[in-house]
Amino acid sequence: MKRVIIVGSPRSNGRSAHLAEMLFEANIDECPEDELFLVPVSEIEVGPCIGCGACRKKSEVIFKGEDGAEASEMRHRCVFDDDMQTLYDVLDDADELIVVSPIYFSGAPAPMKCVLDRLQPYFWASREKDLDARLAEKRPATLHVLGEGGDPHGYDALVSEVRSATAVAGFRLERVLDWVGKIGQDGEITGEPTPVEGVLAPPRKPAEKPKLDLGANRSRQAQGKGHDKGRGGQSGHGQSGRGQSGRGGQSGHGQSGRRQPGKGKRRG
């Protein structure tokens, strides 16, 4: 069994780090045979997704096969050469994902959001007809939520962000544990986490791409029937919806160059 613990705090010695270390140690005690990776976002270099759309296309990825020999395969990958490349490999191999993340204004802290957004190559992979078995499998994921509880707006955004991004990468968020207000400044546990119910409703069907009948609109304009009517008032014209906008985009991505190799902790 291979497990990955991603720690979403920009601080390397905060509550999340303490909790993740505790989970790491507990896992070693309980499942000494497991291979375990601890990946604190505070210790890796992962830049933001810029929506360039380059990951729509497959590129050659070199990896170690089961027998330890180098193999290569065409996969959807981000073109930025930073620690995310190592994290893709670790996630591809994982049987289970654990995310430990603080709440920042209801959502994920920026470095954690960078990691989540950089899972976009899996979105394109998940649309392939010959879907990779690993992505189809839906491996289990758990989210541990931390916060001070001073903000009254909850953390729905954090749950949704983690759930949505990890789903395309082949995970199913099965458990959310609420540690808000239950871990002290120095990492001491002051209470039991609460399992969160009701945040894991079945995903909605993706929005349909709106069909625009431009021909009909043009002929109306040609007949001089006023532009007021042409402004979204007729049979769904001018619908914005979620459609496909924002997916993919322009090329012209600037390479960042490799910075540091992944510094995640590994056992196994």
Ligand X SMILES: Cc1cc2nc3c(=O)[nH]c(=O)nc-3n(C[C@H](O)[C@H](O)[C@H](O)COP(=O)(O)O)c2cc1C
Candidate list 106, 126, 160, 217; residue touching ligand X; CB under 6 A: 106
The answer to whether the beta carbons of residues 2 and 93 sit under 8 Å apart is: yes
CA torsion through residues 155, 48, 84, 21, sign: negative
Residue 102 contacts ligand X per CB under 6 A: yes
Here the tokens at position 246 are 């924002």
Count of residues in contact with ligand X, rule CB under 6 A: 18
Cβ burial 134-168 (10 Å sphere, 16+ → b, else e) = bbeeebebbbbbbbeeeeeebbebbbebbbebbbb
Residue 15 contacts ligand X per CB under 6 A: yes
Binding mask 112-151 for ligand X (x = CB under 6 A): ----------------------------------xxxxxx
What is the number of other CB atoms lying within 10 angstroms of the CB of residue 206?
9
Q: Among 8-16, 62-70, 121-129, 206-214, which window interacts with ligand X (CB under 6 A)?
A: 8-16
**How far is Cα 174 from Cα 192, in angstroms, rounded to an integer?**
19
Candidate list 4, 14, 120, 182; residue touching ligand X; CB under 6 A: 14
**How far is Cα 209 from Cα 28, in angstroms, rounded to an integer?**
47
Closest approach, Cβ 13 to ligand X, in A, equals 8
Closest approach, Cβ 83 to ligand X, in A, equals 19
Here the tokens at position 211 are 């069909």
Span 164-193, contacts to ligand X by CB under 6 A: 180
- Residue 10 or 243: which CB sits closer to ligand X? 10
Q: Among 15-23, 65-73, 81-89, 112-120, which window interacts with ligand X (CB under 6 A)?
A: 15-23
**How far is Cα 124 from Cα 122, in angstroms, rounded to an integer?**
5
**How far is Cα 239 from Cα 225, in angstroms, rounded to an integer?**
20
Q: Among 12-20, 84-92, 119-127, 207-215, which window interacts with ligand X (CB under 6 A)?
A: 12-20
Q: Which residues contact 153 (CB under 8 A, 6 or more apart)?
A: 105, 106
- Residue 147 or 170: which CB sits closer to ligand X? 147
- Residue 13 or 235: which CB sits closer to ligand X? 13
Q: Which positions lie near ligand X, rule CB under 6 A?
A: 9, 11, 14-17, 102-106, 146-151, 180
